[in-house]
């Protein structure tokens, strides 16, 4: 029936208005979101943080799995609009910082965290995937960082994560060839048409698992948890990230100028792309400077809030909420 609540499985361990943590008695916690389209608002962020604390004490690992698709349509825009329109930008920055704190908690949890994804994983939903130890994705998964559609930049660690992946792939060499496709993916809001394409775009890692039968997602995700736990899981440690700095920003800016002058993007798209480049390349520092994660997260946060203050971005957010369609302005 339309509007019927999704089925409830297992035994509830913790629940708030945004999430439910439950188990089937096999020493693995399962976390499901309760929000419409599984959007991520304050209640979900609070719930994820609390569920992680509980899971670290009670379980060998945690699976993020929705009882029905999608995985997550991203951040809760409806919650942000009144804050933005009222000029509450300090409160907005605090919320973005909490989002970043939550994705970092997923990454550095004392137990393995595996996401089991199907359907849409957009914006903040994609950033959640990018911070898990592993993702098990149904082939029919549509994954991407789409924030530019509402006039914003990825600010839940997405830019930072792509900077880290580019550094790992460059193996000490030139960063730019590895940063360029990540920049394009964010600046053009590319969404994969399958989990395999998500690996090509970099939203999923080559070590992430793709399953053809979505009904096997939870089973395979639990098997990944057991494999990680049985090999003596140790959480990763924060690393210094080598960035492209102002050289990288200039290269991205050149591409943006060509697209703007060719009529492919608007002036506001250009401004958004520039802030993505700054967050991805580590800001106005020398090429190959080592920065910590907090430095990159600070650039994400500032770029996000600066854009939220502009009337053009506010118009994009309003249009998306009203019609569900992006505004090109």
Q: Tens digits of per-residue pLDDT, 156-205?
A: 999 999 999 999 999 999 999 999 999 999 999 999 999 999 999 999 99
Q: What confidence score (pLDDT) does residue 85 get?
A: 84
Q: What confidence score (pLDDT) does residue 286 get?
A: 98
First to last CA, the chain: 39
Q: What confidence score (pLDDT) does residue 32 get?
A: 98
Average pLDDT over the chain, rounded to an integer: 95
Look at residue 135 and tell me whether its pLDDT is greater than 50. yes
The token duo for 240 is 């210094």
For each of the domains in the chain, give its residue range(s) and CATH number, in order of start: 11-323 (3.90.226.10)
User: In angstroms, rounded to a whole number, what is the distance separating the alpha carbons of residues 272 and 278?
Assistant: 10
Dihedral over alpha carbons 72, 227, 241, 162 (to 10 degrees): -30
pTM for the whole structure: 0.96
Cα→Cα distances 258→93, 255, 266, 268, 275, Å: 32, 5, 11, 14, 17
- Residue 8 pLDDT grade (very low, low, confident, very high; cuts 50, 70, 90): confident
- Residue 1 pLDDT grade (very low, low, confident, very high; cuts 50, 70, 90): very low
Look at residue 3 and tell me whether its pLDDT is greater than 80. no
Q: What confidence score (pLDDT) does residue 324 get?
A: 87
Q: What is the mean pLDDT of residues 241-247?
A: 98
Cβ pair 121, 34 in contact under 8 A: no
pLDDT single digits (tens) 289-307:
999 999 999 999 999 999 9
């Amino acid at each position: 029936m339309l509007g019927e609540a999704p089925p409830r499985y297992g035994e509830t361990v913790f629940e708030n208005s945004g999430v439910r943590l439950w188990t089937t008695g096999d020493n693995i916690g399962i976390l499901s979101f309760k929000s419409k389209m599984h959007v991520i608002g304050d209640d979900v962020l609070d719930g994820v943080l609390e569920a992680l604390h509980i899971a670290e004490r009670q379980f060998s690992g945690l699976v993020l799995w929705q009882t029905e698709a999608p995985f997550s349509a991203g951040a809760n825009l409806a919650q942000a609009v009144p804050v933005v329109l009222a000029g509450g930008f300090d409160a907005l920055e605090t919320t973005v910082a909490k989002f970043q704190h939550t994705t970092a908690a997923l990454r550095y949890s004392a137990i393995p965290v595996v996401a089991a994804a199907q359907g849409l994983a957009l914006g903040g939903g994609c950033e959640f995937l990018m911070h898990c130890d592993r993702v098990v994705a149904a082939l029919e998964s549509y994954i991407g960082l789409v924030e530019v559609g509402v006039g914003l930049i990825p600010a839940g660690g997405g830019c930072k994560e792509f900077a880290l992946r580019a550094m790992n792939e460059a193996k000490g060499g030139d960063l730019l060839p590895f940063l360029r496709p990540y920049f394009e993916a964010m600046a053009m809001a590319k969404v994969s048409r399958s989990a395999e394409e998500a690996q090509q775009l970099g939203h999923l890692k080559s070590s992430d698992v793709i399953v053809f039968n979505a009904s096997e997602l939870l089973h395979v995700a639990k098997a990944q948890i057991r494999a990680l736990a049985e090999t003596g899981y140790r959480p990763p440690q924060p690393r210094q990230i080598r960035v492209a700095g102002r050289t990288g920003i200039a290269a991205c800016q050149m591409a943006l100028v060509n697209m703007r002058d060719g009529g492919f993007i608007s002036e506001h798209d250009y401004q958004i792309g520039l802030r993505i480049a700054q967050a991805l390349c580590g800001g106005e520092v020398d090429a190959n400077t080592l920065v910590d994660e907090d430095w990159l997260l600070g650039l994400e946060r500032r770029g996000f809030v600066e854009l939220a203050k502009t009337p053009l971005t506010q118009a994009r957010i309003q249009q998306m909420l009203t019609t569900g369609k992006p505004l090109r302005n």
